[in-house]
Structure 1
Amino acid sequence: MKKLKRYQYERYAVLCKLAYPKTFDHVDLGFSVHGHVAIRNRQGHVLARILWQEKKKEVIVVFRGSQVLSDWLTNLCCIPKRKRFGNTVYYIHFGYDRLLNQKVAGAEPEDEALSIYQQIEKVLAPLIARGKRISLTGHSSGGAMAILTADWLERRFDTPVRRVVTFGQPSTGFRSFYKHYTLHRRTYRICCDLDIITFLPPLPGIFKHVGRNLWLHNERIYENIRPSVRLYKTLTSWLISPISYHYMHKYIRNKDFFDKH
């Protein structure tokens, strides 16, 4: 299993942060002039951005998280949605699937009949045909949509997905989805301390996260740690934090402050 490198982590994290503002200078970020397509939802808000460089094989699909009330309400729709691909049947989060099945606000009249899924496929298909591979990333509900889109692309094309990296992502599917998800080894789910969203929906034993969990806590990275252990460690660190600031490594960590004096 390949590790997620620091420069890759930073790149995806920056793109997720920049997916929220209305202005987005993709050329300044190193992408080709014509290497950017914005996918808009039915209200005209940008839901995802597809980015690439002509001379590189990686195409990055960035999903933004919830911003408007309707998005937040959709997050609560955690009833099961049945999906079938051939003989494979599993259940996923109804709300996130609904976000991806809504009609797009397309630049072309014919696009307005397409769903978000279909519009993404329309943009990616010719790029995949040219040998490019797809990386998907997103924050919060954007991470959940990245997971579902990656699974959908992997089943429609011949192994086009390079990796999936999500930040603060809620769970996207039931245990049946976990069982049939084929990208566990290429999926990195980043959690930070006690990010409550990563514990949603609050139905342990029913919903199950996919991929490889990397938990950032107390200057360490914990891999595939159980949610109950993560909760225990976070609460414990809060209780002892006044004492932990006395440790010498805390002083050494702040040595860079003295460069300013």
Structure 2
Amino acid sequence: MSFLVERPPEQYDRAAFSGFNTSSTFNLGNARAMMWMSQLAYETHVPATIDAVSKLLQLSEVRVLSKPAKSSLPMTDTRGVIVRKGDATIVAFAGTDPLHLLNWVSDFTLGRPQAAVHEGFHDAAAAVWNDVRDALAASVKAGSPIFITGHSLGAAIAVVTADLARRELQIGNAQIYLFGCPRVGRADFVAPYNITFGATTYRLVHGADIVPTVPPPLLGFHHVGGYLGCASGAKFGATPPALGSDEPMAEAGLGEQLRGLFVGFSQNARRDTLGALTVALPPGIGDHLPDRYCAALTPAQ
């Protein structure tokens, strides 16, 4: 991963779980906690950061997911973390390296034409499914609340993982928080998924983030769950996500959309030197960065 998605332990929000409530449906406190877990998933190759943040946020039974992935997408492995916070089990997946985002956006439009779910997303989830399945099965046996989350590609992996849990473990009670998630599957995937998890899948999109606009509906792909957006540099509102929305839509074809990435600037949320460099990124890329989502979920001072 690159500096665009990594953060040192001292930049993690000590109050990330201050509003976390396992008995609640959608709330911004849970969304905030899940976004920081999605951020932590990017640090799986830095054990010292995982250890420090786990202590800072009082996480327990921390397990790192890192397995080679055979995928049609330009990726080498699937990464994430499984943690316990209180009595809850949280599975979080790492996503896209923004330095390669143009390649990702192009490849998000590809896959098996007749498959219900995008081939690349399915293969990435399958790489770590055995480990995740064991953790989820243990959580069901213990009666633990389950949260599944991820940012970017990690959000797509979270969706496929939730569906695998539905089909193989008959899990029907979990909360899924998605940040900057692409469209994962076609109607024959989305319909049964939404019957089980539609009301507890919360899909958040910040600003002009380009990733949630692909693959396009004209290829038969659709979003799952409920949609909640916010303007670039703004805060997410507390209104529950709107169910059944396929937003956001691309306003142009893929080629024009990619060219449009280079128009304008993205508001920076980080205060360190490396973070300041990202101000030059165009909105479609900059608004997709995990630090923008963390900032959009941090209460105003």
For 1:65 and 1:160, locate their aligned partners in 2 and report how far apart those are by CA, in whole Å: 25
Aligned to 1:17, what secondary structure does the other structure show?
Answer: helix
Tell me which of 36, 39, 44 is aligned to 2:65.
39
For 1:100 and 1:220, locate their aligned partners in 2 and report how far apart those are by CA, in whole Å: 28
Tell me which of 32, 35, 38 is aligned to 1:13.
35
Amino acid at match of 1:39: L
For 1:172 and 1:7, locate their aligned partners in 2 and report how far apart those are by CA, in whole Å: 26
The residue aligned with 2:216 is: 202
TM-score by length of 1: 0.69
Cα deviation, 1:150-184, whole Å, max 9, x if unaligned, reads: 11112222435420001000011011111111210
- Return the structure number with greater strand share: 1
The CA RMSD over aligned residues, in Å, is: 3.3
Please tell me whether the aligned partners of residues 109 and 216 of structure 2 are also in contact (alpha carbons under 8 angstroms): no
Matched, 1:139 2:172: no
The residue aligned with 2:82 is: 50
Shift of 1:219: 5.1
- Listed as ranges, the matches of 1:222-233 within 5 Å are 223-224=241-242, 227=247
For 2:66 and 2:41, locate their aligned partners in 1 and report how far apart those are by CA, in whole Å: 12
Which of structures 1 and 2 has the bigger CA Rg? 1
Amino acid at match of 2:204: I
The residue aligned with 2:226 is: 212
Sequence identity of aligned pairs in percent? 24
Aligned to 1:126, what secondary structure does the other structure show?
Answer: helix
Please tell me whether the aligned partners of residues 223 and 246 of structure 2 are also in contact (alpha carbons under 8 angstroms): no
Please tell me whether the aligned partners of residues 76 and 95 of structure 1 are also in contact (alpha carbons under 8 angstroms): no
For 2:159 and 2:173, locate their aligned partners in 1 and report how far apart those are by CA, in whole Å: 11
Change (3 A) 1:188 1:151: same
For 2:89 and 2:124, locate their aligned partners in 1 and report how far apart those are by CA, in whole Å: 22
Cα deviation, 1:217-239, whole Å, max 9, x if unaligned, reads: 2656474365368969xx9xx9x
Please tell me whether the aligned partners of residues 81 and 93 of structure 1 are also in contact (alpha carbons under 8 angstroms): no
Cα deviation, 1:183-220, whole Å, max 9, x if unaligned, reads: 10010000112211110013436101010101112656
Amino acid at match of 2:198: H
For 1:134 and 1:156, locate their aligned partners in 2 and report how far apart those are by CA, in whole Å: 16
Change (3 A) 1:229 1:138: closer
For 2:32 and 2:125, locate their aligned partners in 1 and report how far apart those are by CA, in whole Å: 26
Cα deviation, 1:28-64, whole Å, max 9, x if unaligned, reads: 21112xx1111112288661110004xx331000000
- Listed as ranges, the matches of 1:75-94 within 5 Å are 75=108, 77-80=110-113, 82=115, 91-94=116-119
Residue segments in structure 2 that go unaligned for 5+ positions in a row: 1-23, 70-75, 253-259, 264-300
For 2:150 and 2:114, locate their aligned partners in 1 and report how far apart those are by CA, in whole Å: 21
For 1:153 and 1:10, locate their aligned partners in 2 and report how far apart those are by CA, in whole Å: 24
Please tell me whether the aligned partners of residues 78 and 201 of structure 1 are also in contact (alpha carbons under 8 angstroms): no
For 1:80 and 1:27, locate their aligned partners in 2 and report how far apart those are by CA, in whole Å: 45
The residue aligned with 2:182 is: 170
Change (3 A) 1:66 1:37: same
For 1:101 and 1:142, locate their aligned partners in 2 and report how far apart those are by CA, in whole Å: 13
Matched, 1:29 2:54: no
Shift of 1:129: 1.2
Aligned to 2:64, what secondary structure does the other structure show?
Answer: strand
Shift of 1:97: 0.6
Aligned to 1:159, what secondary structure does the other structure show?
Answer: coil
